[in-house]
Amino acid sequence: MTHNGYIDLLCQGQKGVGLLEVLIALLIFTTGMMGLLSTQLAGKKAGYEATQRSIATALARD
């Protein structure tokens, strides 16, 4: 067996591994982005509620 034949044997089990790695990386990236989106939405909701409380407090003082 030549050196090239040995490399060919090693590479036979690698078919499709690159695609699997890309899919796993995409899953991790998507999970992270969903976490960031969730944090942004929670912050926006908290800001809106704070504004509403400020308006209610100002109206109650009048």
**pLDDT tens digits for 17-54?**
788 999 999 999 999 999 999 999 999 999 999 999 99
pLDDT category at 16 given cuts 50, 70, 90 is confident
The Cα–Cα gap between 59 and 9 comes to: 78
Strands (E), the chain: none
**What pLDDT is attached to residue 28?**
98
The Cα–Cα gap between 35 and 43 comes to: 12
**What pLDDT is attached to residue 18?**
86
- Does the pLDDT value for residue 10 go beyond 70? no
